[in-house]
Amino acid sequence: MIGTRTLSFRKLLLSLLLVLCILSVWALIIWFGGESPFKGFRYIIEGSLGNHYQFLSTLNKMVPLILAAAAVAVPAWTGMWNIGGEGQLLLGAFGAALVGFSIDFGVGLVNIVVALIVSAAFGMAWAAWPAFFKIKLRMDEVVTTLMGNYIAAQLIAYLINNPFRDPRSPLAQTPYIKSSFVIPYLFEGSQFSATFFVAIGMVLVLFIFRKRFITGYEFDITGSNPVFAGLSGIRVKKTKLLSMLIGGALAGLAGGLLVLGMTQRVMQSFSPGYGFTGLLICLLAFNDPLLIVGIAFLFSALQTGSVNLQLFTSVPAEISGVLQAVMVLFVAAFKTFIVGRREG
């Protein structure tokens, strides 16, 4: 309510231009793949939005993407880079699974809420140490959060191989969570569940937090000009730390929701890179929570759609990886144009 209107309009326009550029290069790539771009796009759209199963599947895929993107966005408001969403998400997933297979409070709702809180706390913990190192030792959080991803991946691999491995399973994975922890599917034949509304709810909370709350205002001022923020009496380090913790919690929550709403356990290669896709979505959305939902929808539709593309044409589903890479390049190229150079 107190932001600058002209600026966000310009950002929106440039974002649209960026998407347009990406779409045209995509068309070229599909054409090189031996398919007419229009047919290709049609298969992608039909595959993601064609009927209500496919639509629900697209919505369901959005859940981790939205939260992983929000995990980048909130720290970015204060000028912090959280590249560690992937690791925080893994930790969060493990936290939810750990609670799910070892404890039981008797009431399903309590179980779910506790598991989600624990997942957020695990994610938060994984964001806390890079934030701490940044503030105390001035270590670049880009490096520490990024490295944290690999540490987290190895840590989780160890945990699900040794102490928490399901003894009945030939694979490295945790036991299933108890059925009272499971967030049920809402429609037959689809994995769509209430997790979607949790993600949307978080986005709305963040939107309101940023626009209407004193602390959200401090986030924005800190990110916009930290020296000015400090001189105004905002405690810059504390604000940055808080934003990083919220970011970690959101990524952790994404992991928790995946476990409770879909996989019901943590296994090897649990995340196909949600954290990094979230980073891209956040960049595309210029850290804006509402735009994140829109861009996440686009990404999700692309992923479900390219499976359909493979089904009906000679273009392999892996094309979505190429299409994503195209997006990365354009985002990188446009970023300095739109947002300008910024201190990390």
Which residues here bind another protein, judged by CB under 8 A? Answer: 1-7, 212-215, 217-218, 220-221, 224-225, 227-235
Which residue, 5 or 168, has its beta carbon nearer to another protein?
A: 5
Place of tokens 């408001």: 77
Least Å from the CB of residue 217 to another protein: 6
Residues facing 158 on adjacent strands: none
Phi then psi dihedrals of residue 108, to 5 deg: -55, -45
Nearer to another protein, 106 or 233 (CB): 233
The answer to whether residues 47 and 305 touch, using CB atoms and an 8 Å cutoff, is yes
Q: Sign of dihedral through CA atoms 178, 164, 157, 109?
A: positive
Structural tokens at position 327 = 């997006």
**Least distance to another protein, CB of residue 305, Å:** 37
> To the nearest whole angstrom, how small is the minimum distance from the Cβ of residue 17 to another protein?
20
CB of 142 to another protein, least distance (A): 22
- Which residue lies nearer to another protein by CB, 195 or 287? 287
C-beta separation of 58 from 297 below 8 A: yes
Decide whether 136 or 168 has the Cβ nearer to another protein.
136
Q: How far is the CB of 220 from another protein (least distance, A)?
A: 7
Q: What is the smallest separation between the CB atom of 332 and another protein, expressed in angstroms?
A: 21
- Closer CB to another protein, residue 7 or residue 103? 7
Nearest to 64 by CA among 104, 101, 93: 93
Distance CA 139, CA 244 (A): 14
Q: Look up tokens 């290709």; give the residue.
A: 40
Q: What span, in angstroms and rounded, lies between the C-alpha atoms of 320 and 341?
A: 29
User: Smallest distance from the beta carbon of 330 to another protein, in angstroms?
Assistant: 23
Angstrom distances, CA of residue 267 to CA of 91, 97, 165, 281:
12, 10, 9, 25
Q: Are 148 and 71 in contact (CB under 8 A)?
A: no
Q: How many Cβ atoms sit within 10 Å of the Cβ of residue 338?
A: 16
Q: Minimum distance between the CB of residue 200 and another protein, rounded to whole angstroms?
A: 22
Nearest residue (CB) to another protein, 24 versus 215: 215
Q: How far is the CB of 113 from another protein (least distance, A)?
A: 23
Give the Cα-Cα-Cα angle 195, 69, 7 (nearest 5 degrees): 125
**Residue 199 CA from chain centroid, whole number:** 10
Task: Match 């986005």 to its residue by tokens.
Answer: 203
* 3-state SS, residue 193: strand
Closer residue to another protein in complex, CB, 198/242:
242
User: Between residues 234 and 283, which has the closer beta carbon with respect to another protein?
Assistant: 234
185 - beta bridge partners? 193
Nearest residue (CB) to another protein, 8 versus 36: 8
Q: Find out whether 166 and 102 touch, Cβ atoms under 8 Å.
A: no
